[in-house]
Amino acid sequence: MAHIEEILAVERIDNDIYRGGSFPSHLRRTFGGQVAGQALVSATRTVDPAFAVHSLHGYFLRPGKPDKPAVYLVDRIRDGRSFVTRRVTGVQDGEAIFSMSASFHVTTDHGIEHQDRMPPAPDPDTLPDRAESATDTQRMLLAEWDTFDIRIVDQSDTVKIPGLAAQQRVWFRYRTPLPDDHLLHVCTLAYMSDMTLLGSSAVVHPDEETQNASLDHAMWFLRPFRTDDWLLYDQTSPSAGGGRSLTQGRIFDRSGRMVAAVTQEGLTRSGVPGSAASIMRQAE
> CA 14 to CA 12: how far, in whole Å?
6
Tell me the catalytic residues: 194, 214, 264
Cα–Cα nearest to 197, from 257, 145, 245: 245
Cα–Cα nearest to 247, from 271, 206, 216: 216
Distance spanning both ends of the chain, measured CA to CA = 19
Q: Supply angle C-alpha 232, 236, 238, rounded to 5.
A: 165
Query: Coil, helix or strand for 38?
Result: helix
Q: How many CB atoms lie within 10 A of CB 195?
A: 20
Written in H, E and C, the secondary structure of 183-239 is HHHHHHHHHHCCCCCHHHHHCCCCCCCEEEEEEEEEEEECCCCCCCCCEEEEEEEEE
Backbone φ/ψ region at 198: left (φ over 0), alpha (ψ -120 to 50), beta: alpha
Backbone φ/ψ region at 137: left (φ over 0), alpha (ψ -120 to 50), beta: alpha
Cα–Cα nearest to 284, from 193, 174, 223, 195: 195
> CA 99 to CA 141: how far, in whole Å?
26
